[in-house]
Structure 1
Amino acid sequence: MMTASLRIRGARVTLGGHEALAGVDLDVTGGTTVAVLGPSGSGKSTLLRAVAGLQPLDAGEIALEGRSLAGVPPHKRGVGLMFQDDALFPHRDVAANVAFGLRMQGVDGDDARARVAELLELVGLPGREQRRIESLSGGERKRVALARALAPRPRVLLLDEPLGALDRPLHDRLVTELGDLFAAIGQTAVYVTHDVAEAFALGARVAVMRDGRIVQAAPPEDLWARPADAWVARFLGLANVTEDGASATVVRPEGVSFRPDADGDAVVGGTRRDGPLVLLSARYDDGREIVSADTGLTPPAAGTRVAVEIDPAAVVQIPAAGF
């Protein structure tokens, strides 16, 4: 697999008078995946389009393996693309869809057929060359779209919310499969998403975007342990954030436990199960709320009075605001 390091420096794009990219710097080491995470309108897709050559930069530079992509057309960048809508050709069979990029490179005949078979095996669809697109399930279509993006051996693969339209069980299964596949083939990838769990599962590093800027880029564990500011903490799903002037205190929910106690200082309110994890919220007698992540077999029920215990290692001080 051909892979390459990606370097972005000072990338700026203005669209309709709005600065969609406001000086983005990002590095992607060859053979690794960086997840670009942020809310709608933060600039994630614009950044991906700029790397692909579909959106020109107003300023800054994008380089693959140290070579600037300025002036290089999209089809000569060595970039593979996978989008949420798949963009498969319904009138062509699976083999023709996967081979599309190969034909653009002038690869055909036995070489193209061998590469198509190799990719279908890789994505778990061996022998499906003659299947029509409309006969495939949603998960199978995603696999065909991935095979098509990988077929020309891209130096970097760009994925823009590719799993966003799938039901949760299929989505979660494909996230695991994507992570395993990228690791196995050593593919350099940039994965755009608004889903925190997806970004943490796939990214060796996660770059959080807000208002056209990358506000923090770090491995998932570091990002969760020490978010850059209160906005990042809340976006990641950390509910126990208390601001006090220019600083904020974050209490990680896995470091909070509720112990049933008739003389306790809080009462459990809402409970929400997510597989083996139960998120519990409790209200102190003074009105403050705190959230705990519980993996026990019998978490306290709503209405239970509890003593709140906090592991000091779960408490971190961060700035209240970033830029």
Structure 2
Amino acid sequence: MANIYSGIYTKLKDRSTDIKDRLKLTKFAWLSDKVIFPNKEQVLIDFLGGLLLNRKRSNVTEDETGLVWRCLYEILQTKKCHVPANFRHTLIIKPSISQVLCDSILLEYEKTSGCTANIVGCALAIIKSPTLSYVFTSKYDFLVKFLGNVSLLIVRTIQDGRLVSSDLIQLLQKCTATYSVSQRAHPQQTKVFQSVVERLLISTLLLGSLAEKCPELKNSVENLNGILDQALFHREHHPFYESFLSAVAGKDDRKHKISKTIESLFHSLSSLLNKKKEQWNDTDTQKIVSQYLVASLTISCTESWRESADGIPPVCPHLSSHRDQ
């Protein structure tokens, strides 16, 4: 067995060996019970992750990258990955691999490489696994970024007139559900607000505008809108909205300290308003933002009324003043 181990490990690490041969050897070693060496499964997973993480140093071409993704996808579909205890081994997906997945999904949004199906399949296999999904769910910052990237990939897929695969829809559903739990449990709602504005706001608005072209996304879009509402209109932020709207409307002579957090929301919406249609494949961003502003201001005012000791007034003064203008 020592000779088998030495030969396999040497060939896997030998950069002069053709990448196709090394991938064939990886799959053989993974599936074969006759190939035995310490921590075999973890070594093989880390080897594939290393190829993706260090493509230049590993001399992996763009075409070969697709083969690596395919090999990782096939491995992640096996029972060894999801019930490792039955095979008397432990297995972890390192953060570096999850980061490569996250970055690769964003790259697929920016420029399709042909690896989309395998990248999405790998991500879905990991996040659905009871034993592997912790790498996605344990860090809030990673999860919100990943969900934003998945949403953007679906937006681009629809805009390009391509079919949104069932795996991609499932990935969005799973990410949304997992993120929603993480957001509600987060102890710092200001941090949540900032992250949602930076990572989810624009992608969610764009996805909502395209949902009618893919009815399977309806529930996910509704859940994402709920996530936006929970994050942006949490009761901790209500006083900041009031100060911001008072300052903008000029209805109060007192000087209000405008919250940078709330200001970032309207700055992002303003940036989207100023985007030209061709920048978003003829998507009417002005209509999207206008509709969201009316809805969001209504929510903000309604929540403020509910908390008011004087009861609910018939009209929100800040909102009515803008409508009159």
- TM-score between the two structures when normalised by the length of structure 2: 0.31
Greater RCO structure (CA 8 Å; 6+ sep) = 1
Q: Give the structure with higher Rg (CA).
A: 2
Could you say which structure has the higher helix fraction? Answer: 2
Q: TM-score, normalised by structure 1?
A: 0.31
* More strand, by proportion: 1
